Amino acid sequence: MKRTTIKISEELDTKLRHIAAQRNGTLSEVIREALELYANGGPPDRRRFLFTAAGASGDGTIASRIEEILAEEWSDPRRS
């Protein structure tokens, strides 16, 4: 493996170290993964689930209507 040196902001360093700690990995692993993603055109497109915060809505019927909600989200072409 080749070694290189880069300069990053304190804020970015803190964020990257936090990610590494959460994963029980190293800073180098996190940076390599990020660079690989960037070099390969970014992460694969993933559909965003706009209803992920539904649990905090105060609407107690969401769990029983989840199939209906998913069908609405996935069928609406404006949400892609």
pLDDT of residue 73: 83
Tokens 């989840």 — which residue? 66
Give the mean model confidence (pLDDT) for residues 36-65: 73
pLDDT at 53 over 80: no
pTM score over 0.75: no
**pLDDT computed for residue 64 by the predictor:** 86
Q: Is residue 78 part of a domain?
A: yes
Whether 68 has a pLDDT exceeding 70, the answer reads yes
Name residue 19's amino acid: I
Work out whether the CA dihedral 45, 16, 32, 6 comes out positive or negative. Answer: positive
Residue 5 lies in a domain: no
Domain identity same for 51 and 79: yes
**Full domain range(s) for residue 66:** 47-80
Tell whether 57 and 35 lie within a shared domain: no
- Tell me the CB-side half-sphere exposure of residue 31, using CA atoms within 13 A: 14
- Please determine, for residue 55, whether its predicted confidence score (pLDDT) is greater than 60: no
Whole-angstrom CA distances from 50 to 17, 18, 22, 26 are: 29, 26, 25, 32
* Mean pLDDT (whole number) for 74-79: 68
Domain count, the chain: 2
Q: Indicate if 54 and 26 belong to the same structural domain.
A: no
User: By three-state DSSP, how is residue 47 classified?
Assistant: coil
